């Protein structure tokens, strides 16, 4: 018979089971996306700076810097699912094709060709404004998986792209945080 506490009072098996179950529930709750997201936002705040942009990160999303880019991912409950992700990357033009010659139709065709090789079909395009600058998004859906989208956006004057890869259920959240993106005051210094 086991004992617990200073007085050596025996602990019943039912009490041990209840304590173990409570400990397991606490551990599970700690790793819920809402809890992890709240912790990330408590540490990092609501916005992250990326190049000349201040991106407002929605609740249940978090940001990760990698190389020249930044990813903003939505947390998921199921670890085997790919989370919806927004990828922010710089756009590099060649010396033979400087940015002043940028044409949306040429860029859109290049995106359609590149994403077509990955099984995505062009569904349409949409004008956007990010941080006060005009841009364009091309919306693709995965062949035979219409709920999966790839949205390729560019703001050519900022030489920055923002792509969304994920379920169409979260595409409006992507467009919402793009529309809330502001100029990064630190980038203009």
Write out pLDDT tens, residues 67-85: 999 999 888 766 666 889 9
pTM: 0.77
Convert the pLDDT of each residue in 28-60 to its tens digit. Answer: 655 666 667 777 778 888 888 899 999 998 888
- The closest alpha carbon to 157, from 133, 136, 180, 178, belongs to 133
Domain topology for 45-188: Protein Transport Mog1p; Chain A (3.40.1000)
- Among candidates 50, 114, 58, which has minimal Cα distance to 84? 58
- pLDDT tens profile 91-134: 887 766 666 678 899 899 999 999 999 999 999 999 999 999 99
Angle at 104 (CA atoms; ends 108, 55), nearest 5 degrees:
90
Residue 139: per-residue pLDDT: 97
**pLDDT for the residue numbered 69:** 93
Q: Is the pLDDT of residue 4 over 60?
A: no
Residue with tokens 């995505």: 120
What share of the chain has pLDDT > 90, as a percent? Answer: 47
Strand 133-142 and strand 120-130: the pairing is antiparallel
CB atoms within 10 A of CB 104: 15
Residues 6+ apart with CB under 8 A from 127: 134, 135, 136, 137
């Amino acid at each position: 018979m086991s004992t617990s506490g200073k007085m050596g009072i025996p602990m019943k098996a039912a009490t041990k089971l209840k304590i173990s179950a409570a400990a397991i529930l606490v551990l599970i709750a700690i790793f819920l996306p809402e809890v992890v997201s709240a912790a990330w936002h408590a540490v990092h705040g609501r916005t992250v700076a990326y190049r000349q942009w201040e991106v407002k990160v929605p609740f249940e999303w978090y940001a990760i810097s990698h190389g020249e880019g930044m990813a903003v991912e939505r947390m998921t409950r199921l670890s085997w699912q790919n989370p919806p992700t927004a990828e922010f990357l710089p756009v590099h033009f060649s010396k033979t094709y400087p940015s002043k010659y940028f044409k949306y139709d040429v860029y859109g065709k290049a995106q359609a060709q590149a994403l077509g090789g990955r099984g995505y079909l062009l569904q349409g395009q949409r004008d956007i404004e990010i941080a006060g600058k005009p841009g364009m998004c091309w919306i693709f859906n995965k062949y035979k998986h219409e709920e999966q989208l790839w949205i390729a956006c560019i703001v050519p004057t900022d030489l920055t792209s923002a792509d969304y890869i994920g379920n169409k259920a979260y595409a409006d959240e992507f467009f919402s945080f793009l529309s809330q993106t502001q100029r990064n005051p630190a980038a203009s210094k």
